[in-house]
Amino acid sequence: MSATAVDLVLFDLDGTLTDSAPGILAGFDHALATVGTPPVGADVHAHVVGPPMIDTFRSLGLSEDQVERAREAYTEYYDRQGWAENSVYEGVVEVLEALRAAGIPMAVATSKNERFARRILEHFDLAKYFEFIAGASDDGSRRAKSDVVARALEQVGRTARETAAGGTGSVVMVGDRDHDVFGAGHWGIPVVLVAWGYGQAGEHAAATWSVESAADLTALLASLTSSAA
């Protein structure tokens, strides 16, 4: 990581800003039932939140026709009610307020559909903190974490390649799963993983930093951004 102070913070959404598991898992189970797949156990549920849903369906060995029908069923459920089966984690607002007070720009980079991400953040009055909310495209062509990170960077006036080369100042990503680490790491961006999300214990070993609480995250980001504002 560059010695330059961090001057942009990217946030994941699910498991980082909000606890969206209830709606996501209900939609996931609904989608599997729609295509005639038997219910799955907690071991599968533990890995559902975070990665692109279409990739999760494929990992279960569904045919491409089943994958597409499951995706449609999931989207229909989530659009109807799943997005609201959600809550903001304790301390998140204080983290965002501290960064805004310090003059540090923020953006969201999530593998969730961009429309849903914006709807959720607006519903919880969190959208106001972010320069841009980047998510997956409706057709699924942009869903990899590295792609949504690149979109977030470009929409706030940077390019992913310049960021990777260290030419536009330092960026940090805050997430909860190892796919956040690998997606941001594709562009050379270090990652803070939060303990309150959906990541397994071993995933935190891949992160540059790991924090247990929102207060710890606020303190870490303050130290990383202290000379940027």
What is the domain-level CATH number for residue 187?
3.40.50.1000
Sequence letter at residue 160: A
Q: Which of 34, 63, 84 is the last residue of a domain?
A: 84
What is the DSSP track for 101-169? Answer: HTT--EEEEEEEEHHHHHHHHHHTT-GGG-SEEEEE-TTSSS-SHHHHHHHHHHHTT--HHHHHTT-S-
List Cα–Cα distances, 114 to 41, 91, 135, 138, 139, in angstroms. Answer: 28, 24, 4, 8, 11
- Claim to verify: residue 126 and residue 47 sit in the same structural domain: no
Q: Which of 32, 62, 84 is the last residue of a domain?
A: 84
- What's the mean pLDDT when you consider all of the chain? 93
- What is the C-alpha radius of gyration for the chain, rounded to an integer number of angstroms? 17
- Claim to verify: residue 35 and residue 145 sit in the same structural domain: no
What whole-number distance in Å separates Cα of residue 86 and Cα of residue 121?
11
Q: Which of 42, 64, 84 is the last residue of a domain?
A: 84
- Claim to verify: residue 62 and residue 175 sit in the same structural domain: no
- pLDDT of 1 above 50: no
Quick one: which of 190, 206, 134 has its CA closest to 5? 190
| Token duo for residue 170 | 């330092």
- Claim to verify: residue 14 and residue 40 sit in the same structural domain: no
147 noted as active-site residue: no
Q: Is residue 45 included in any domain, yes or no? A: yes
- Catalytic residue, chosen from 12, 14, 19, 178, is 12
- Claim to verify: residue 96 and residue 15 sit in the same structural domain: yes
Give 100-122 pLDDT, tens digit per residue: 999 999 999 999 999 999 999 99
- Claim to verify: residue 38 and residue 117 sit in the same structural domain: no
> How large a percentage of the chain has pLDDT more than 70?
95
Domain range for 163 is: 6-19+87-225
This prediction's pTM: 0.89
Q: How confident is the model at residue 82 (pLDDT cuts 50, 70, 90)?
A: very high
- Claim to verify: residue 72 and residue 11 sit in the same structural domain: no
Q: Do residues 186 and 47 make contact, with C-beta atoms less than 8 angstroms apart?
A: no
Q: Is residue 51 included in any domain, yes or no? A: yes
